[in-house]
A = this chain, B = another copy of it.
Amino acid sequence: MTTRERRRRVTIADVARHAGVSTTAVSKVLRNAYGVSAAMRDRVKAAIDELGYRPHASARAMRGRTYTIGVLLPDLRNPFFPEILDGLYEQLDGTGYQVIIVLGGRDAKAETRAIDALVDRQVDGMLMVAPRVPRTRLEEVGGQLPTVVLGPHEKSALYDAVLDDDEIGAELVVRHLISLGHRRIAHIGHRENAGRRTAAMLQTIRAVTYERVMREHGLDDEIAMAMTTYSEEGGYEGARELLARSPRPTAIFAGADLAAFGALTALHEAGLAVPADVSLAGYDNTRTAALSDISLTSVDQDGGVMGGTAGRLLLERIEGRTSSVTFSVTPTLVPRRSTAPPPAETRTA
């Protein structure tokens, strides 16, 4: 049996020697400290890669660091999350930090345990993506270790916030549909029973903005919402509910691409063509939305930038920043073939 002990561990001194720099310089690169030149960083990174250097976790734990970043994701199915992770990994590349991920699972209770598991494993920092636990729990974690929360529109003195301007995003979609000539525009939303935090959640903001823009265009009577979940199943159910209305909507704005994919199935089952009979738009601009057979109009919120920023903010907090910051990404509309003017008969109605 091979044991790990047989391998001699590569030390920071080995890395310094290999790179031809001081151990202090290596340490600076590992901490992602200021005042390190790009050339120095490249040299040290190359040495770390070549030697397979790995900071000694227990030694680190003794002096208070494990060089791990914990990430909470709601699930693995939403294709927006890999975009966030890509940005995070890129930001952490060469810093020696490893990312460990837990999934929130089916409810806030399961999510609480998943978060606890990360805290128990002594991560140095925590990124919580679209968390469902109460704000008090987020602040509890933020009070214990460097924390960034991605998604909800709420600020705290105890953690940093990275968010998409969901109000602008939802407005772009609804205005786009109205400008194409649609009036009966319906919305598929995500209902989460999260008490007082509800107003700050991105799904609420998308739904509320849909209603506001409809009203601003005198379309109060056309407001139709199916509140299910941001999932394929939720989109399928939501679309079925909306299509059962008479007259049926000529356009559907699903609050997430994943829900739009489920809506597509419901539309096909109902014998309706997209966009000839019903226009469809999503949110997240996932890769599937871009597939030519899907060609879904969507909102791009640049997950890579969001994830990268979250990583940078975590490193800053680990280095000692205690003030809280909020970073907001302005989304853009990506119009594709799934949205077009409504059928002729509805335009004259």
A116-B54 contact in complex given A102-B101, A103-B101, A292-B268, C-beta closer than 8 Å: yes
Chain B neighbourhood of A113, CB < 8 A: 52, 54, 98
CB distance from A177 to the nearest CB of B (A): 20
Complex Cα gap A208–B66 (Å)? 44
Question: Does A237 sit at the interface, judged by CB under 8 A?
Answer: no
A102-B100 contact in complex given A77-B82, A79-B77, A113-B54, C-beta closer than 8 Å: yes
Chain B neighbourhood of A232, CB < 8 A: 287
Complex Cα gap A122–B100 (Å)? 13
A102-B99 contact in complex given A143-B2, A232-B287, C-beta closer than 8 Å: yes
CB-contact partner of A99 in B49, B103, B112, B292, under 8 A: B103
CB-contact partner of A291 in B1, B101, B261, under 8 A: B261
A98 touches B109 (CB 8 A): no
Question: Does A242 sit at the interface, judged by CB under 8 A?
Answer: no
CB-contact partner of A4 in B68, B117, B140, B158, under 8 A: B140
Chain B neighbourhood of A136, CB < 8 A: 2
A143-B264 contact in complex given A79-B77, A100-B100, A109-B49, C-beta closer than 8 Å: no
B287 touches A2 (CB 8 A): no
Chain B neighbourhood of A81, CB < 8 A: 76
B293 touches A1 (CB 8 A): no
A144 touches B3 (CB 8 A): yes
CB distance from A1 to the nearest CB of B (A): 4
A265-B294 contact in complex given A76-B81, A98-B114, A121-B68, C-beta closer than 8 Å: no
Chain B neighbourhood of A222, CB < 8 A: none
CB distance from A122 to the nearest CB of B (A): 8
Return the CB mask of A79-112 against B: 1 if under 8 Å, else 0.
1011001000100000000111111010001001
Complex Cα gap A81–B101 (Å)? 14
Question: Does A36 sit at the interface, judged by CB under 8 A?
Answer: no
Chain B neighbourhood of A79, CB < 8 A: 77
Chain B neighbourhood of A291, CB < 8 A: 261, 264-265, 294
12 other A-B residue contacts (CB within 8 Å) besides A101-B103, A264-B291: A2-B143, A3-B140, A49-B109, A54-B113, A57-B120, A57-B121, A68-B121, A77-B287, A101-B101, A121-B122, A293-B293, A294-B294
